[in-house]
Amino acid sequence: MRYIALEEAFAIPELAERQPTTPMRIRVTGEYAEMCGRRLVDFENHRLPEMDAHGIDIQVLSLTVPGIQADTDPRKAVDNAVFANDFLAEAVSRHPARFRGFAALPMQDPRAAVAELERCVRQLGFVGALVNDHTQGRYLDDPAYEEVWGALEDLGVPLYLHPGSIPADDWHVMRGRPEMYGASWSWQAETGGHAMRLVYAGVFDRHPRARLILGHLGEFLPFQRSRLDSRYRTLRVEAPLRRMPSEYIGTNIVLTTSGVLAPEAIEAAVLTAGADAVMFSIDYPYEDTAAAVASIEKTGLPREVKEQIAHRNARRLLGI
């Protein structure tokens, strides 16, 4: 079986030098940090051989966290987004059959973000964009981003909402428990919450053709679909949604398997969100490619559904 992987990170050392220093709040071992650092900046020596060894036809590459969301100066954010996207386009051009790109967007300046999205899709051939959660505390339901959502619809490309922006506040539940910060728990809760802001703000009612991708099996949301609906029925709301909250999950909101290595969880995601809404990802280099592939192979899903997850859904959504 062949695979397309959608949440696969890269880094640019020169970009980090152009941006404000960001503290590393996730405490990892030195060995793990060294491994990730070596592989993030590589395309040929580690990445391609690992893809070949495990049947990964294509990686869709995106700038690692915190990405352009680290920039505090909007003008520098625009310049750095262009720099990062041009770098990625050059890397993709060296291996056009193996790599695709998600654009990094300067959401600090919504109008510039639209211009950069259009440039990346129309001129550089990128298949969508990836944003690391909020930008300096501003979420994507802000009215300033309406033009961005319209551009995504017009271009027919998805937005991948990824965790990892610099925290905008101090979440008390994590005080004294640094183990909870990041991919182990907080990023899923934060990004899933961001996605629900978009639902409740009516973003997908105003932009019904927009597609949002969530990694990590949907950042908890598919498994809360029934509760979202039962509680919504009890709420007094100013602007009612056109559909129940659960109905946006699996349609406007689709998901990848990135970072989730449990076959039974993938089976549950298919049951809750639908086989058309689940796509394979690794979360390279932060997760192991072999384990990610095994998580699909070991499910009890029919072969046809495995093929959908492995590559067919991605080909349809991204136009590959």
Backbone angles phi, psi at 212, to 5 degrees: -110, 130
Whether 205 sits among the annotated catalytic residues: the reply is no
- Greatest pairwise CA separation for the chain in angstroms: 56
Distance of CA 282 to the CA centre of its chain: 12
List 56's β-bridge partners, or say none: 3
3-state secondary structure of 8: strand
Dist. CA 60–CA 121, nearest whole Å: 14
Distances 98 to 38, 84, 101, 163 between C-alpha atoms, Å: 20, 19, 11, 25
Annotated catalytic residue, options 71, 133, 141, 283: 283
For every residue of 84-142, DSSP letters joined together read HHHHHHHHHHHSTTTEEEPEE--TTSHHHHHHHHHHHHHTS----EEEES-BTTB-TTS
Tell the burial category of 97 from Cβ atoms under 10 Å away from its Cβ (0-12, 13-18, 19+). exposed
Phi, psi for residue 208 in degrees, rounded to 5: -65, -20
Distance from the Cα of residue 137 to its chain's centroid: 18
- Residue 204: what residue type? F
Residues annotated as catalytic (active site), given as ranges? 283
